[in-house]
Structure 1
Amino acid sequence: MVETKRLISVVLAGLLLLTAQAAPGFAEGRFQQGWRFAPPPGITVTDQRPRHALALQGNPYVSPAYLRQVVTYPTGERSGTIVVDTTAHFLYFVLGDGRALRYGIGVARDGFEWNGTHRVTRKAEWPTWTPPAEMRQRQPELPAQMAGGPDNPLGARALYLGSTLYRIHGTNQPWTIGQNVSSGCIRMTNQDVTDLYGRVQLNTKVVVL
């Protein structure tokens, strides 16, 4: 009986979180200033892998504006296209019928901005990170290569853009979402990039504004 009640509590907590993600009005009512979400009673938030069923992996220090949600988004782009608005720190996955799935992102810092249109030419789960020579020249302490995993800066998933060095990828620094911090890549939380990864096909068009 105790285990059954615990399972019901966990399921209800999950439904509450999904409701908060899907309905901004509900979510915003539960937020403290500067917090991403307030967890349901009895649920703790951790930025590490949860150790038990009542822990929820997440980052409490990201603005609620960057929660994944369906929004109105009139565009001439076809459904399935990715549009990256670097100024607003949003990535849109076009759904069609004037709607898009919107994600919060981190973008390039001053001096590393770029824009253009490319295609997704490769997808990788828990990708290996090989810092380009230019980056290692700026930051000699970086490794020549780092295996994929929770400590890898590319996070859980990566979408590679054409022949460029740029990627849409996860991050082990989720608090940087909504910031200008990268060397040109588009950062997402690991949860969001995993969601996007499952929706995107090879050769998907990516428009960076």
Structure 2
Amino acid sequence: MTRSPTQTGRRAFLAGGAALLATPALAQTTNYTTPFENSTVVERDPSEVVRRNISSFRSLDWRPYFSDTRNGAVLVDTTSRALHFWSGDQSVYKLYPTSVPLTEELTRLGRTEIVRKVVGPEWRPTPSMKERNPEWPDYVGPGPDNPLGTHALYLSWTYYRIHGTHDTRKIGRKSSNGCIGLYNEHIAELFGLTNVGTQVLLI
């Protein structure tokens, strides 16, 4: 039986869409031997299939960004929506897809470091979040409704975190109020690799 061009095109579209949906869930890993749902608006309808900066989601070398990798180094590229990690001895490199802030006004760039690590973080909206969203709760405890997911890395900048999310639709998008979000399985892995004092650079 001969398929019409319309049937062939539909099959190709569905196959391509499935591949795109699967892509961001993978973190690239190289081991060298030498609150709550709808807590923010997202840039597009979360049910849409979106093309996610695949060309710029690639491995990077640490040298253009850090003078050394002592105590580990984290680079967050808000343009490609990717987080890069290098261990102190450079034997481990990780690359994860992230969510990034909704707007430039909510985005902070520059150098900071991890000052605290928390499993099962609590969440409280910042004053500016509460002003924009007065209907939000004042407190959300650890669990599936917590917008910080399962783990959080607190940065030296007040209110800024690298954390997990239970709403996986947000990863790969502009969807946060300032923080950097990862899939819960990825933040759990990064949590185990980083230390208090690990340097962080957002570009």
Same fold, judged at TM 0.5 (above): yes
Could you tell me which amino acid in structure 1 is paired with residue 130 of structure 2? R
Matched, 1:82 2:45: no
3-state SS of the aligned residue for 2:131? Answer: helix
Matched, 1:104 2:97: yes
- 5 Å matches for 1:161-176? 161-176=155-170
Matched, 1:134 2:121: no
Q: Deviations over 1:2-26 (max 9, x none)?
A: xxxxxxxxxxxxxxxxxxxxxxxxx
Could you tell me which amino acid in structure 1 is paired with residue 190 of structure 2? L
**Aligned partner of 2:194 among 165, 188, 200:** 200
Deviation at 1:73, TM superposition (A): 2.3
The structure-2 alpha-carbon separation of the partners of 1:148 and 1:66, relative to structure 1 and needing over 3 Å to count, comes to same
**Aligned partner of 2:111 among 109, 114, 117:** 117
Cα distance in 1 for partners of 2:96, 2:176 equals 17
Kept in 2: contact 1:83–1:91 (CA 8 A): yes
Unaligned 5+ runs, structure 1:
1-30, 37-60
Q: Share of identical aligned residues, percent? A: 34
Q: What residue number does 1:25 align with?
A: none
Deviation at 1:99, TM superposition (A): 7.1
Q: What residue number does 2:147 align with?
A: 153
The structure-2 alpha-carbon separation of the partners of 1:83 and 1:66, relative to structure 1 and needing over 3 Å to count, comes to farther
The structure-2 alpha-carbon separation of the partners of 1:97 and 1:81, relative to structure 1 and needing over 3 Å to count, comes to closer
Cα distance in 1 for partners of 2:77, 2:90 equals 19
Kept in 2: contact 1:62–1:175 (CA 8 A): no
Cα distance in 2 for partners of 1:123, 1:203 equals 10
Unaligned 5+ runs, structure 2:
1-13, 31-58
Deviation at 1:105, TM superposition (A): 0.2
Could you tell me which amino acid in structure 1 is paired with residue 161 of structure 2? R
Deviation at 1:62, TM superposition (A): 4.4
Matched, 1:179 2:173: yes
Cα distance in 2 for partners of 1:153, 1:133 equals 16
Q: What residue number does 2:10 align with?
A: none
Q: Relative contact order (C-alpha < 8 Å, sep 6+): which is higher?
A: 2
Q: What residue number does 2:28 align with?
A: 69
Q: Deviations over 1:61-102 (max 9, x none)?
A: 845145111264222233310000010010000146697310
Cα distance in 2 for partners of 1:163, 1:189 equals 22
3-state SS of the aligned residue for 1:188? Answer: strand
Could you tell me which amino acid in structure 1 is paired with residue 61 of structure 2? P
With normalisation by structure 2, the TM-score equals 0.70
With normalisation by structure 1, the TM-score equals 0.68
Matched, 1:33 2:16: yes
